[in-house]
Structure 1
Amino acid sequence: MKIVLFTHPSFLEHQSMPRYANMLLTGMRERGHEVIVWSPKARFYKLPLMKSLKKWLGYIDQYIVFPIEVKFKLLRNSDDALFVFADQALGPWVPLVNNKKHVVHCHDFLALKSALGNIPENPTSLTGKKYQNYIRNGFSKGKYFISISQKTQQDLHELHLGKIESSAVCYNGLNRTFNPLSPTEVRTMLGNKLNLSLSKGYIMHIGGNQYYKNRKGVIEIYESWRSISKKNFPLLMIGSEPTNELLELQKKSAVKNDIHFVTNLADEDVNIAYSGAKCLLFPSLDEGFGWPIIEAMASGCLVITTNRSPMNEVGGSAAFYIDKKPSDDIFFKKWKEDSAKMLEKVVSLNKIQRAVMIENSLKQSQKFTAEFSLNAIEVVYKEITQKL
């Protein structure tokens, strides 16, 4: 099978999308398929102009220059190729090949749903709304899709403006190695690296400052838990530099000395952090998939997450669940209290109970290996090429 893989341009410096595209590239090549990558090059983007213009220059490279290049490439390309879009955000290019064999990988529709006003917590600017509509009109010209979760598939079907011929769910697979490590050893290693006392363990969260990551909610749950528990495990907030709002929340907290923001943690240290944690506290409002859930489980770390899809799709029976943080202040206090009780339950498990849940977590993580994901994706690719 010949595959033409459309990917985001490298000059955008994305993180998760290049990893996913590389998994497709290497995985399909290892399975004996011919894969070539089509992606915009930085031409206008690299011009030495004001930084504020960079985004718009990048748009010229992506949506004016690149489509012209694709049209010329199609003149020389054989008709038997399968055109694969690594992300539905590449939608503006889909109409270039929608009359050929193609498939669009869908990750999450949070930006589009925000632009449509469906997520009041995350308002979108006028230009952002126009951009998301441009992407939507593009991917809606597609007919064949693969979603990373049932939730993403459901959103696709609600937001697609045309007719979908084929829609499959192929869950993500870990494209980095995560293994359970000795908690005692890794706590010492991480503690020395961060200059913190972590020998008894810690509560962990990992993620960026996107609204749906609910980092503020993590701190609110932690504070509520500390008010009812005799335990005093610190909280490690791993990820992006904290916002001013998060820093202010930490500053006003009665347990501020036990709330630590950890930035620029190397990839190899993330496995260490998971393995040493008492649990991962991951109360996301929404996700496309929820990578940290399965990364933590593969590292032997217990997970507390939101009882909503796709988090409960990924966590299955191996995770502990709390309600989604309410937008209504009337229910907020109860949410904090109930979530704190769940955190206390998890960190209070005895050795036998904890060992059983860790074993369940490791088994659950085996459902989300790169091999499992790529095998499922390859089946769909073959089905599409046989249909057309």
Structure 2
Amino acid sequence: MKIVLFTHPVFVGSQSMPRYAKMLADGMQQKGYEVLIWKPEPFFHKLPFSPIKKWLGYIDQYFVFPLKVKSKLRRCSDDTIFVFADQALGPWVPLVKRKPHVIHCHDFLALNSALGKIPENPTRETGKIYQNFIRRGFSKGKHFISISKKTQEDLHELHEGDITSSAVCYNGLNREFKVLDAHSARNSLDNLLNIDLSAGYILHVGGNQFYKNRKGVIEIYDAWRASSDVVLPLLLVGAQPADQLKEVYEKSEYKKDIHFVIGLEDQYINAAYSGATCLLFPSLDEGFGWPIAEAMACGCPVITTNRAPMTEILGFADFFLIERRPFEWVLVEEWSTESARQITRIIHLSEAERQECVATGLEAIKKFDTELFLNQLEEEYQLVLKLERF
């Protein structure tokens, strides 16, 4: 079996997808398979026309690259399987729809937004056209692997053709996480950030994507501080805050205890989870929800939203669930007040109860093993190749 892996071009600026594609490529190469990576290269995108650079990139992706693919296909052997690292690469699927192929699906948030299903993320007309373009493309595919059951359910609802095979293969943690001594972890971060973390802290890990609900993190934190005698700082680890988040921060009565931690190196991420009192992760939606699994691997209790795929990742470790943040602003205060009660619950856990949370979380994450993930992918690829060749 030879594998041709379609990936996003470097110039689109994605960070998570290149890491995922590299994990696929490295894993299959380690198993002894030849892996070729096909992706658009910048040509028109390199031209000095900044106002239309995105559109020039589309020319590279959807006009130039397909011509190159058609030429390369003539040199591919019959034992080649064509793997798409992301369903957003759907416009290229018709190029190989009659050949063995597999499409990896991560989340359908952009498409559901374009269809008006997510009011927090309205989509412009051009975005709706683009998402429909992607949908028509991946709907030509027949074989799919989803990273969660929730993503699989969305795929089956949104796919406009016939699906021959559809599997769920949970991601493996892409780096090592383990339970560290909380006191030592806090000391290391304290020294790095010059923040007193000795008593613990509330942690959030995530970017500025609308569904991460970082403003909801601050709203819950504010509600908790207003009703609690305990003072713990809030660390938001991730990207520079967007303007909307800055506004929420500036209005907070407790902003002196709210800290944005930008560009935290990997070596400190494990310590951040291990030293945290809890991870506060009130996402509106996810394709998977990496921080949930990472936190559990580090012995950190998780507060998250009571809906899939967050509950799916938690498994039977769903101790501290909250409702999804309401879209209607008049209901947000009630939501944040009710959600804040979960922070109080965690703070008042006995040592035995906290250790039970840790043990249950460690058991739940066993399904997120990289070797298991790669073995499942290998089986699915071989199955598809067999189905399509015979």
TM (normalized to structure 2)? 0.96
Counterpart in the other structure of 1:379: 379
Return the alpha-carbon distance in structure 1 between the equivalents of residues 267 and 363 of structure 2.
Answer: 22
Q: Percent identity?
A: 59
- 1:326 and 2:340 aligned: no
Counterpart in the other structure of 1:164: 163
Counterpart in the other structure of 1:58: 57
Counterpart in the other structure of 2:285: 286
Counterpart in the other structure of 1:272: 271
**1:186, CA displacement in angstroms?**
1.6
Letter of the structure 1 residue corresponding to residue 13 of structure 2: E
**1:329, CA displacement in angstroms?**
4.2
Letter of the structure 2 residue corresponding to residue 375 of structure 1: N
Q: 1:214-235 CA deviation, whole Å, 9 max, x = no partner? A: 1111111111111222211100
SS of residue matched to 2:154 = helix
Counterpart in the other structure of 1:27: 27
SS of residue matched to 1:164 = coil
Counterpart in the other structure of 2:259: 260
Counterpart in the other structure of 2:100: 101
Q: 1:177-229 CA deviation, whole Å, 9 max, x = no partner? A: 21221211121111121111111110000111111111111111111111222
Between stretches 83-92 and 184-193, larger displacement belongs to 184-193
Return the alpha-carbon distance in structure 1 between the equivalents of residues 77 and 242 of structure 2.
Answer: 50
SS of residue matched to 1:122 = coil
Return the alpha-carbon distance in structure 1 between the equivalents of residues 159 and 309 of structure 2.
Answer: 19
Give ranges in structure 2 of 5+ residues lacking alignment. Answer: none
SS of residue matched to 1:27 = helix
**1:139, CA displacement in angstroms?**
0.4
Counterpart in the other structure of 1:363: 363
SS of residue matched to 2:79 = coil
Paired residue total: 387
- C-alpha contact (below 8 Å) 2:119/2:327 kept by paired residues: no
Letter of the structure 1 residue corresponding to residue 78 of structure 2: D
Return the alpha-carbon distance in structure 2 between the equivalents of residues 338 and 76 of structure 1.
Answer: 61
**1:18, CA displacement in angstroms?**
0.9
**1:113, CA displacement in angstroms?**
0.8
Counterpart in the other structure of 1:217: 216
Return the alpha-carbon distance in structure 2 between the equivalents of residues 347 and 25 of structure 1.
Answer: 43
Q: 1:224-261 CA deviation, whole Å, 9 max, x = no partner? A: 11122221110001111112222222222221211111
Give ranges in structure 1 of 5+ residues lacking alignment. Answer: none
Return the alpha-carbon distance in structure 2 between the equivalents of residues 105 and 231 of structure 1.
Answer: 45
Counterpart in the other structure of 2:186: 187
Return the alpha-carbon distance in structure 2 between the equivalents of residues 263 and 243 of structure 1.
Answer: 12
SS of residue matched to 2:304 = strand
SS of residue matched to 1:375 = helix
Return the alpha-carbon distance in structure 2 between the equivalents of residues 292 and 93 of structure 1.
Answer: 31
TM (normalized to structure 1)? 0.97
Letter of the structure 2 residue corresponding to residue 317 of structure 1: F
Between stretches 282-291 and 233-242, larger displacement belongs to 233-242
Q: 1:289-315 CA deviation, whole Å, 9 max, x = no partner? A: 001100111122111111100000001
SS of residue matched to 2:20 = helix
Letter of the structure 2 residue corresponding to residue 128 of structure 1: G
Between stretches 103-112 and 322-331, larger displacement belongs to 322-331
SS of residue matched to 1:45 = helix
Q: How does 1:126-165 map to 2 (within 5 A)?
A: 126-165=125-164
Return the alpha-carbon distance in structure 1 between the equivalents of residues 137 and 249 of structure 2.
Answer: 43
Between stretches 301-310 and 360-369, larger displacement belongs to 360-369
Letter of the structure 2 residue corresponding to residue 305 of structure 1: T
Counterpart in the other structure of 2:241: 242
Q: 1:86-138 CA deviation, whole Å, 9 max, x = no partner? A: 00000010000000000100000000111111111111112111111111111
Return the alpha-carbon distance in structure 1 between the equivalents of residues 56 and 324 of structure 2.
Answer: 40
Return the alpha-carbon distance in structure 2 between the equivalents of residues 99 and 250 of structure 1.
Answer: 52
Return the alpha-carbon distance in structure 2 between the equivalents of residues 146 and 180 of structure 1.
Answer: 31
